[in-house]
Amino acid sequence: MATQMGCSPAAARAARLLLIVLVVAAGTSVAGATYVRYKDPKQPIQARVTDLLGRMTLEEKIGQMTQIERANASTAVIEKYFVGSVLSGGGSVPSEKASAATWQEMITKMQKAALSTRLGIPIIYGIDAVHGNNNAYNATIFPHNVGLGATRDPDLVKLIGRATALEARATGIAYTFAPCVAVCRDPRWGRCYESFSEDTKLVQLMTAAVIPGLQGAARHPTGIPIVAGPKNVAGCAKHFVGDGGTRNGINENNTVLSFHDLMRIHMPPYYDAVIKGIASVMISYSSWNGVKMHENKYLITQILKDKMRFRGFVITDWQAVDKITTPPHKHYYHSIQETIHAGIDMVMVPYDYPEFVADVTAQAKRGAINMDRINDAVSRILRVKFAMGLFENPLPDHTLVDQLGSKPHRELAREAVRKSLVLLKNGKGKKDGKPVLPLSKDAKKILVVGTHAHDLGLQCGGWTKSWQGQSGNDFTGQGTTILEAIKSAVDKKTVIDYSEHPDKGSISKNLDEYDYGVVVVGEQPYAETAGDNQNLTIPGPGPEVIRKVCELVKCVVVLVSGRPLVVEPYLDTMDALVAAWLPGTEGHGVADVLFGDYGFSGKLPRTWVRSVDQLPMNYGDKLYDPLFPFGFGLTTKPAADRS
């Protein structure tokens, strides 16, 4: 067309070149597609954040700050509210016994809805993968953190973090509300099994190991979140801060401590988490000296964000904004303002998201909520999404589905069980103090009893397929009970008598035939407040079973619990006592050590008190008179090494 107007070919080419330069400079490609800086993975993360933030409406920003429950995350809701995050609460699944592929299909549908919005910002899907991807059917269920603390093995914990990340990604999930880095100072607390230890240094050691396992190890500036690749997940250090130090171990209660002691006991694991590039931090329901943590601007903003230079995002716990007041949800409008100004970036509003969005929008428009605070919150959320490559890889990876419950992960869990077992007693005393363990595999007849001997649900504890956990052998998909493991370990000719609650008369009839008995008892599953326990006694019929069997037969008691329980009244009747914690699905790990394929090596991550009257009592206290001290654990050699 230019030559027809009288221009020379050279002039026409120059004109076209100039037009291309001007178009590119204006941000438009020759093909007509708009160049969008935030979509360019070659750009620095902060440049992408700034560019995207500048394009967002108020409604889109508030959407990013909103996390809703899976059951509400329809395509229409995600598109209407520009939802930034979706979660599965404990037990919230796409269908009963859903496969990894079914999980992926659900999340793909949600993600495509998010990508279809004006700016195409992907959602981040979160779940409580606290001892494996524990909501998913067929997942590997690792020992809870208290058991991992007993291993004293950070390399093992890092591998467990990596395996958990793979099993989460197998279901399409890119974000886990883990690790719990609480320092549990009172075993009466219902979340104590989620804590690695009462000892700050041990919690730090494990925190610094599990985060690179989950998120991947990569060099990064301190405080900047880093997720190494699409086989890793974004983590969440919780619950900030002091949740393990509440009065009488009551969940969501008040932690009464000086600032010095708060920083000395409960804060150090968060320093380690920030140094390791943790993506998010979840705030505790609890209070510090009467101030609810969710409205504690001093600790959230001035300490965590400013002093510690944390650059990821801060998230609430489940419906936590409601719990600022008593009764919950009273003055909700004001509670939203308080929490956001305190430094909360993402708000977990599983069900009441329409009210939350409407209230934040109204307050932002009238200036009651500062726009700088909203922009900071959204910037932090976007920073994590960019850092984890979510814009480049928003959809689940179908090639990872076979990672869920894989054989290598189950072998890793079995190793963790072996290393977590703590041998507290091995022999009656000085007169007949011959060690009972390891047990003989070629015994003629043995007795296995107790509520926890043949029950995967009791073995796994809370946060297993459901929030509170449950009893039974048919809901985890895979796994080996302790009874099944014993049967697999002993000689094929060995006769095993099993009874959940044995009759004393029947034991007496066969008394001369039993080489020994294995008693497996402990706590029922629980989570959070439901697990608060002011007496810590062994639940019935455990004590009765111990007495029945151990008074008649040489016995080993295997205690399955999330914390030390009061055992002194029964200790003299036991020949051996093993703390198995909550070992998860791989019961073979228990049998491996009972029968001497491996030696006992675990050490107590917690002080084992004589009675609850001594609580709180922790290692280093001036008045320290435990039944078994922190760090205690008898050792044995593998049977093959014994002379």
**What's the pLDDT tens digit per position in 238-249?**
999 999 999 999
d(Cα 184, Cα 605) in Å, to the nearest integer? 10
Any idea where the domains of the chain sit in the sequence? 54-252+271-403, 421-641
Question: Which one is catalytic: 528, 575, 586, 592?
Answer: 528
pLDDT at 640: 75
In CATH terms, is domain 54-252+271-403 a member of 3.20.20.300?
Answer: yes
pLDDT tens, residue by residue, 49-91: 999 999 999 999 999 999 999 999 999 999 999 999 999 999 9
pLDDT(628) > 90: yes
pLDDT in tens, 582-598: 999 999 999 999 999 99
Nearest in space to 396 (alpha carbons), one of 40, 107, 636, 85: 107
pLDDT of residue 429: 63
Question: Does the pLDDT value for residue 143 go beyond 80?
Answer: yes
Q: Considering the entire predicted model, what is its pTM?
A: 0.94
Q: What is the structure's pLDDT at 627? A: 98
Topology alike, domains 54-252+271-403 and 421-641: no
The pLDDT value given to residue 5: 39
For β-strands 576-581 and 445-449, DSSP reports them as unpaired
Which residues are CB-contacts of 14 (< 8 A; sequence separation ≥ 6)? none
pLDDT at 643: 44
What average pLDDT does range 192-221 have in this prediction?
94
d(CA 593, CA 258): 43
Number of helical H runs and strand E runs in the chain: 21, 17
Confidence band for 264, pLDDT divided at 50, 70 and 90? very high
Query: Which of 132, 143, 119, 133 has its CA nearest to residue 48?
Result: 119
Cα separation, 179 vs 169, in Å, equals 16
Q: Using CA atoms, how far apart are residues 177 and 160, in angstroms rounded to an integer? A: 15
- C-alpha–C-alpha distance, residues 423 and 425, integer Å: 6
Is position 272 annotated as part of the catalytic site?
A: no
Phi, psi of 170 (to 5 degrees): -60, -30
Tokens standing for residue 329: 């949800």
How far apart are alpha carbons 257 and 198 in whole angstroms?
Answer: 16
Residue 409: pLDDT over 50: yes
For residue 6, the one-letter residue type is G
Per-residue pLDDT at 259 exceeds 90: yes
Quick one: how far is CA 489 from the chain centroid? 31
Catalytic residue (one of 317, 322, 338, 359): 317
Burial 6-22 (b: 16+ CB within 10 A, else e): eeeeeeeeeeeeeeeee
Residue 639, pLDDT score = 83
- Residues 5-23: tens digit of each pLDDT: 344 555 555 555 444 444 4
Kindly tell me if the per-residue pLDDT of 430 is higher than 60: no
Predicted pLDDT at 530: 98
pLDDT grade, residue 642 (50/70/90)? low
Q: Write out pLDDT tens, residues 160-186.
A: 999 999 999 999 999 999 999 999 999
42 has a pLDDT exceeding 90: yes
What was the pLDDT predicted at 505? 86
What are the DSSP calls for 323-367, one per residue?
Answer: GGSSSTTTTHHHHHHHHHHHT--BEE-SS-HHHHHHHHHHHHHTT
Q: Annotated catalytic, 317?
A: yes
Can you tell me the distance from the alpha carbon of 500 to that of 162, in angstroms, rounded to the nearest whole number?
37
Residue whose C-alpha is closest to residue 442's, from 376, 501, 492: 492
Buried b (16+ CB within 10 A) or exposed e, 253-289: bbbebeeeebeebbbbbbbbbbbbbbbbbbbbbbbbe
Amino acid 29: pLDDT: 43
Average pLDDT of span 527-551: 97
CATH 3.40.50.40 assigned to 421-641: no
User: What mean pLDDT, rounded, does the chain reach?
Assistant: 94
For residues 15 and 13, what is the distance between their CA atoms, to the nearest angstrom?
Answer: 5
pLDDT in tens, 345-359: 999 999 999 999 999
First to last CA, the chain: 98
Question: Which among 200, 193, 203 is positioned nearest to 581, based on CA atoms?
Answer: 193
pLDDT band at 380 (very low <50, low <70, confident <90, very high): very high
| Helix (H) / strand (E) containing 154 | helix 154-170
Over the stretch 220-239, which tens digit does the pLDDT of each residue have?
Answer: 777 889 899 999 999 999 99
**pLDDT category of residue 617 using cuts at 50, 70 and 90:** very high
E-assigned strands of 534-624?
A: 555-560, 576-581
Check residue 508 and give its pLDDT.
87
pLDDT of 4 above 50: no
Taking the C-alpha atoms of residue 487 and residue 627, their distance in angstroms, rounded to an integer, is 33
Please state, in angstroms and rounded to a whole number, the distance separating the CA atoms of residues 167 and 174. 10
Contacts 24+ apart (CB under 8 A), 39-48: 39/391, 41/389, 41/391, 41/392, 45/383, 45/386, 45/387, 46/383, 48/382, 48/386, 48/391
Of the chain, the percentage scoring pLDDT greater than 70 comes to: 94
The answer, yes or no, to whether residue 149 has pLDDT greater than 70, is: yes
Q: Give pLDDT, residue 569.
A: 96
- Among the listed residues 423, 408, 405, 410, the one whose alpha carbon sits nearest the alpha carbon of residue 598: 423
